[in-house]
Amino acid sequence: MFTGIVQAVGRTLSVGHRLEVAAALPRVPSVGDSVAINGCCLTHIGGDALTFELSDETLARTTFGRLSQNTAVNVELALRVGDPMGGHFVSGHVDCVGALLRRESGAAGERFTFRAPDEFAKYLVDKGSITVDGVSLTVVEPNANDFHVWLIPHTLESTTLGQMREGSEVNLEFDLLARYVERILIYRP
């Protein structure tokens, strides 16, 4: 479980089925620990860098299949008992890949507009939570499968979102609670 509060911006050293990331983290993860890279929960298998084995499913469902070497990525270690819960509950199970449509400057930050695949529009709720490349954000004014988020300067500077260009692809994870409620409503007697 994660919170969507990025702890470090790392750099990819190798990509593909074996992903290696260099990142300065508050603690060194042990072999077998879960680490979120751009919002995707991966298992650290050891080595000098953060090292992960990626399945075909992970490469297909996330942006990892299109990552290149020396790309900046958001990194978060798994939540431990007693850690602050600063964002929202993030499983690290990426639902889909979305795209950044627009960046607009505001008085105290920027408004980003993203597009999700049509089948995920039902999870976009005004003032609801969403995880974009591992960053916990609040949905603003969803319109069909497009939605806005406001980013303060701190978030732009301390995550990869500040480097993002229009057209960039992102990993999206929709609110976990909404998914559970939907499943319960579908299968109630």
Q: Examine the fold and report which residue of 19, 49, 77 is the final residue of a domain before the chain moves on.
A: 77
Residues 107 and 178 in one domain: yes
Residues 41 and 120 in one domain: no
Helix, strand or coil, per DSSP, at residue 80? coil
pLDDT computed for residue 124 by the predictor: 95
Average pLDDT on 25-33 reads 94
Q: Answer yes or no: is 107 within a domain.
A: yes
Q: Answer yes or no: is 84 within a domain.
A: no
- One-letter identity of residue 9: V
Residues 152 and 109 in one domain: yes
Phi, psi of 120 (to 5 degrees): -105, 0
Residues 100 and 182 in one domain: yes
> Which residue is it, tokens 């399945």?
55
Residues 71 and 106 in one domain: no
Q: Answer yes or no: is 87 within a domain.
A: no
Q: Please spell the DSSP secondary structure of 40-64, one letter per residue.
A: EEEEB--SSSEEEE--HHHHHHSGG
Q: CATH code at 53?
A: 2.40.30.20
Q: Please spell the DSSP secondary structure of 154-177, one letter per residue.
A: HHHHHSGGGG--TT-EEEEEE-HH
- The tally of domains found in the chain comes to 2
Q: Answer yes or no: is 83 within a domain.
A: no
Residues 64 and 111 in one domain: no
Cβ–Cβ under 8 Å, residues 176 and 43: no
- Check residue 127 and report its DSSP letter: T
pLDDT digits (tens, 9 = 90+) for 103-159: 999 999 999 999 999 999 999 999 999 999 999 999 999 999 999 999 999 999 999
CA distance 68 to 77: 22
In this structure, the strands spanning 135-138 and 129-132 are antiparallel
pLDDT at 25 over 80: yes
Residues 54 and 126 in one domain: no
pLDDT digits (tens, 9 = 90+) for 56-103: 999 999 999 999 999 999 999 999 888 888 889 999 999 999 999 999
Global pTM value: 0.94
Structural domain including 25 reads 8-77
pLDDT digits (tens, 9 = 90+) for 32-54: 999 999 999 999 999 889 999 99
